Amino acid sequence: MEETTIRPIKQNINLGWIKGIGVTLFLAAAAKYLSVLPFLSILGQLVIALMLGMAWRAVFGVKEDLIPGVSFSSKKLLRAGIILLGMRLNLADLYSAGWNVLAISVIHVVFALFVVYWLTQWLGVDKKLGLLTACGTAICGAAAIAAISPQLKANDDETAISAAVIAVLGTLFTLIYTLFYSLLNLSPAEYGVFSGSTLHEVAHAVAAAAAGGGQAIDSAVLAKLTRVALLVPASIVIGLIMQKGKPRSGSYKGSLSIVPWFIFGFLAMSGLNTLGVVPEAAAKNMVDLSYLLIAMAMAGLGMNVDVKTFRTLGLKTFIAALLGSILLSVLGYMLVKLFS
C-alpha cells in the first residue's frame, strides 16, 4: 500500500518538473522569435524572456508543481548556458582588434564596476543588488548578471530587477546613440568601438552601431566581446569584494571559491573556439543553444519576481545605473577620441 502511494507522488513531482522546464522553454522560444521584431530586437532574447516570465506570473501565477522545473532552469541550465557562451569568444579576434580596444574596454569595465556600485551604496541600494547592477553595466548586461548572481547568492528578485534596469537603460541609450550619431564626429570604426565599449547588451551595441554601417558593427562586436572576456577577472574582483569583512581562519591563503566554477568552463569553451577545434557551424549552434538556456533561466527568474518588490527596489537602482551609464558614455567618448 505504501509503495502505491509513493509512486504516484513521485510521478507527479517528475511531471511537474518537466512541465516547469517546458514552460521556461516555451517562453525562451517565444522570446527568440519576438527578438527579431524591429523594436524588440534592441532588448534581445534574454531580457524579453525575463519580461515574459514576469507576465506569466502576473497572468497565470506559478503553480506549486512547476516550481522544481522552474528552479532547475533558473539555476542549473543557467550555468550550462554560461559555459557554452564561451564559444562566442575567439581570443585571436580580440588580439587582432588591437591594444587600444582592450585598454578602452578594461578602463570602462573597472570604471563602471566601481562607480555604479558606489552610486548604489550612496543611494542605499542593497549590496548584492548594487553589485549585480554594476556588473550588468560594466560587462555584458543580463548575461553578466546571470553569471555573477549565483556567486553572490542573490535572490531571484535582485537578479531580475538588475537585469530589467539594465535592459531599460540599454534600450534608452541605444536610441540616443542612434539619434545623435551624426553629431558625434566619429568615424564608423570609432563609433563602433564607442558603442561596443559603453552599451550594456550585445544586442544594444549592434543595434546602435548599425547607424554607422558594417564597419561600425564589426568594431562594436569586437569591443563588446572584449568586455565579455573580462567577465572572468571581474568575477574575481566581485569575489574579493564579497569576502571583504568576513572572518578568516589563520590558515586562510586565498581560494578559487571566489570564482564561480562554471567560469572555468566558459574559458575552456573560449579556448576550444580559439584553437578551431570546433567547426564554425557547430560553434554557432552552441552559442545559439547557450542563449536559449540562459533565456530559459531568465524566464524562470521572471516567474519568481513579485512586481511589488520591483517597484520598491527598482527606482534607486535605476537612478544609480542611469548616472553611471551617463558617466560611462562621457568617458567612452573621451577615450575613443584620445586613442584614435
Per-residue model confidence as pLDDT tens digits over 197-252: 899 877 778 778 878 887 787 788 788 878 877 887 887 777 776 666 555 544 44
Mean pLDDT of the chain: 80
Dist CA 297 CA 102 (whole Å): 30
Per-residue model confidence as pLDDT tens digits over 157-196: 888 888 888 877 887 888 889 888 888 898 888 898 999 8
The answer to whether residues 180 and 194 touch, using CB atoms and an 8 Å cutoff, is no
Per-residue model confidence as pLDDT tens digits over 52-73: 888 888 888 878 778 888 888 8
Other beta carbons within 10 angstroms of residue 8's beta carbon come to 9
The torsion angles phi and psi of 56, rounded to 5 degrees, stand at -60, -45
Dist CA 276 CA 283 (whole Å): 9
Dist CA 86 CA 147 (whole Å): 12
